[in-house]
């Protein structure tokens, strides 16, 4: 029996080994993902002595398998016996940190950083720090790049002697012959600087930063710019000018646009790190140059930072700097040849109004807003309209209506229908920005005019626009403002406009609700069934089918059904077809309801408390389940299959014994 137990205990590891050696990659991957289960079955001692050595010896697999293994090992501390034995995880992770695939190495480094926090200071020096040295001295660049991410996690917790060795290894990697290693070192320079003592930051890190920022590879130089932010926050203000700014000025004028782009992208962070005085003296001219850069990508990145840069300027000189140095550059960007630059500027330029105040906004910014509002690029126009509330807060709604709204109206009446279409798409957004009162006063007429545009695409978009406006402002607003005007178009001499009335009713019925649809819209639709134009009549049939689910059953039976039956005998084939389609919805609804009732009867328990409950809507007719108080006395009405459908409404059947 003991032997059998021993065999059983070996079974999990045997399964794992078999699956790890299987030709099917998916099986090997699945086994790796089950490592924690296997480790639990084996126990901590056998996991350390058998499982981990096996894994270390078999790290020659597909990248996805190795990636899963690297991730699993980062969570293995308790499975090997806790922090006391966490160093047992280092050999397989060290091997994974040297593989060729970048994502596997990165995941192995991530797991190593995680378990480093679980090492005691003694174990860190005895086990972890030697691993870092081995990686940093490896023959292949892969191990050296991995080492760059491990210096910062072990440095704070080791002795002074070991710290000196770590600093020396990092210096060596920063000047490595392989660009990939220098890139990895540059990407971790700022992180490493944060854990160093200030004296070593000045003596070691600054020289490394300067060297990396002057590297022959632009991919290394741009990463040095990222490190600049971290380094600048560590240094006293008096040291920034001499230690950091020369290198930063050089990066802002670098021959590679990628480096200049990185400077522009990190500009706000650099501005906060170096403080107000250096910003005024050095960063303002540098920012101007970036806004005027010859590469569109750099200009776009800088334009995106305009508002943030201006907000962070010293208050005592903010307005003067913006008006003198920044605004002239912004004016040039408004008419930039690249649409991405204009779009980036449009997304932030409105925010300048809150910084510059009412007078400057009216005099200097409004003309720029107007120019961008008329830009041929739709994204530019959208970004301006999306941020109108910023300007509204500063100059007020009246001033806004006098300046920007005429331009919006002009675009809305543009001779090119695609321009009109673009403005319609922005109208719900604009309505939300301006509010219901201002919208009714200035833009309501415009929205209604689109409904009778000579281009169908405009009329269709205007119909969708009304639906969105009703969803935004509510049914009461629609009843008082929109519905009367829409219904008035039913008497228009142009049959296309009469059809637009039907399209609007289709779109608005659900948003307006049953009461408005039944009392105001339905009579107009029924009246239009006598229209002389067949296109209008068959659209009446389609509309009745569309709004049917919103109407109550009485209206459907007494008003809608007779009209549809009349249209079903129309002389026009299309009218007959769509009327019959609408009527056939009734029969289909009944068949489906019978099926639902039968199934529901088997599921729901008897419930004498049921009252009028909306059960199902399909096609033409709503079907309601009616079990009102008087039916409670009818013996046998305890389940849904004791009901029958009569003319679209459910009624109780003859009482049956239960």
The per-residue pLDDT for range 118-165, each reduced to its tens digit, is 888 888 888 888 999 999 988 889 999 999 988 988 888 888 888 999
Neighbour tally for 72: CB within 10 Å: 20
User: CA of 74: how far to CAs of 29, 67, 109, 130, in Å?
Assistant: 17, 11, 9, 19
CA separation for the pair 176, 145 (Å, rounded) = 10
Question: What are the helix and strand counts (H, E) for the chain?
Answer: 46, 4
Provide CB contacts within 8 A for 113, sequence distance 6+.
149, 150, 153
- 106-139 burial code (b ≥16 CB/10 A, e <16): bbbbebbebbbebbeeebbbebbbebbeebbebe
Three-state DSSP class for residue 215: coil
Res 15: pLDDT: 67
pLDDT score of 592 more than 70: no
Pairing between β-strand 613-618 and β-strand 621-625 as defined by DSSP bridges: antiparallel
pLDDT digits (tens, 9 = 90+) for 458-471: 899 889 988 888 88
Residue among 560, 450, 469 at smallest CA distance from 512: 469
CA separation for the pair 261, 298 (Å, rounded) = 5
What domains can be seen in the chain, in order of their start residue? 10-118 (1.25.10.10), 474-602 (1.25.10.10)
Residue 83: pLDDT band with limits 50, 70, 90: confident
C-alpha dihedral, 541 to 542 to 544 to 545, nearest 10° = 120
pLDDT digits (tens, 9 = 90+) for 298-336: 999 999 999 999 999 988 888 899 999 999 999 999 999
CA separation for the pair 382, 384 (Å, rounded) = 5
* CA angle 595–597–602, rounded 5-degree value: 105
Task: Quote the pTM value.
Answer: 0.68
User: CA of 636: how far to CAs of 369, 594, 609, 655, in Å?
Assistant: 73, 18, 15, 5
- Residue found under tokens 């906004």: 361
Res 321: pLDDT: 92
Q: What is the mean pLDDT of residues 374-386?
A: 80
pLDDT digits (tens, 9 = 90+) for 153-200: 888 888 888 899 999 999 999 998 899 999 999 999 989 999 888 888
CA separation for the pair 241, 280 (Å, rounded) = 13
pLDDT score of 636 more than 70: no
Burial classification of residue 42, based on how many CB atoms lie within 10 Å of its CB (0-12 exposed, 13-18 middle, 19 or more buried): buried
């Amino acid at each position: 029996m003991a032997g059998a137990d021993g065999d059983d205990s070996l079974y999990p590891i045997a399964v794992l080994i078999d699956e790890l050696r299987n030709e099917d990659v998916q099986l090997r991957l699945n086994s790796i993902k089950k490592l924690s289960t296997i480790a639990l079955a084996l126990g901590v001692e056998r996991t350390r002595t058998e499982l981990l050595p096996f894994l270390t010896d078999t790290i020659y697999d597909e990248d996805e398998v190795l990636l899963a293994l690297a991730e699993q090992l980062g969570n293995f501390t308790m499975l090997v016996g806790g922090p006391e034995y966490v160093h047992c995880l280092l050999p397989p992770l060290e091997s994974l940190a040297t593989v060729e695939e970048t994502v596997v190495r990165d995941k192995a480094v991530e797991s190593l950083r995680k378990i480093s926090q679980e090492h005691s200071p003694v174990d860190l020096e005895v086990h972890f720090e030697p691993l870092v040295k081995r990686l940093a001295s490896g023959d292949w660049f892969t191990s050296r790049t991995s080492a760059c991410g491990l210096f910062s996690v072990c440095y704070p917790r080791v002795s002074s002697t070991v710290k000196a060795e770590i600093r020396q290894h990092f210096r060596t990697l920063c000047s490595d012959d392989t660009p990939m290693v220098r890139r990895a070192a540059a990407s971790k320079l700022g992180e490493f600087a944060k854990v160093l003592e200030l004296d070593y930051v000045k003596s070691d890190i600054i020289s490394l930063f300067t060297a990396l920022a002057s590297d022959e590879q632009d991919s290394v130089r741009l990463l040095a710019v990222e490190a600049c932010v971290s380094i600048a926050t560590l240094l006293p203000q008096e040291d920034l000018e001499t230690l950091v700014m020369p290198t930063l000025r050089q990066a802002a004028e670098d021959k590679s646009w990628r480096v200049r782009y990185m400077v522009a992208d990190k500009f706000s962070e650099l501005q906060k790190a170096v403080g107000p005085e250096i910003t005024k003296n050095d960063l303002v001219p540098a920012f101007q140059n970036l806004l005027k850069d010859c590469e569109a990508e750099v200009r776009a990145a800088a334009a995106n930072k305009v508002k943030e840069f201006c907000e962070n300027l010293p208050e005592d000189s903010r307005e003067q700097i913006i008006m003198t140095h920044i605004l002239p550059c912004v004016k040039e960007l408004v008419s930039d040849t690249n649409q991405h630059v204009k779009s980036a500027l449009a997304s932030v330029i409105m925010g300048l109004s809150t910084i510059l105040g009412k007078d400057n906004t009216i005099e200097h910014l409004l003309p720029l807003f107007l120019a961008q509002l008329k830009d041929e690029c739709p994204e530019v126009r959208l970004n301006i309209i999306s941020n109108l509330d910023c300007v509204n807060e500063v100059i007020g709604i009246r001033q806004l209506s006098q300046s920007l709204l005429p331009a919006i109206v002009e675009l809305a009446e543009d001779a090119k229908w695609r321009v009109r279409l673009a403005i319609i798409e922005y109208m719900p957004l604009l309505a939300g920005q301006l509010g219901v009162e201002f919208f009714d006063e200035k833009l309501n007429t415009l929205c209604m005019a689109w409904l009778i545009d000579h281009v169908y695409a405009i009329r269709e978009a205007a119909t969708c626009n009304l639906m969105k406006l009703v969803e935004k402002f509510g049914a009461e607003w629609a009843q008082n403002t929109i519905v009367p005007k829409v219904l008035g178009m039913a008497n228009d001499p142009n049959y296309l406009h009469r059809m637009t009335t039907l399209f609007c009713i289709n779109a608005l019925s659900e948003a307006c609700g049953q009461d408005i649809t039944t009392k105001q819209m339905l009579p107009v639709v029924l009246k239009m069934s006598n229209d002389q134009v067949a296109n209008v009549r068959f659209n009446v049939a389609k509309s009745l089918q569309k709004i049917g689910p919103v109407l109550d059953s009485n209206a459907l039976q007494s008003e809608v059904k007779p009209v549809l039956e009349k249209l079903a005998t129309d002389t026009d084939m299309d009218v007959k077809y769509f009327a019959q389609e609408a009527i056939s919805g009734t029969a289909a609804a009944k068949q489906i309801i019978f099926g639902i009732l039968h199934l529901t009867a088997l599921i729901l328990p008897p419930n004498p408390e049921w009252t009028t409950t909306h059960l199902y809507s399909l096609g033409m007719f709503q079907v309601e389940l009616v079990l009102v108080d008087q039916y409670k006395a009818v013996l046998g009405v305890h389940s849904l299959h004791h009901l029958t459908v009569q003319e679209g409404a459910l009624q109780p059947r003859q009482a049956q014994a239960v």
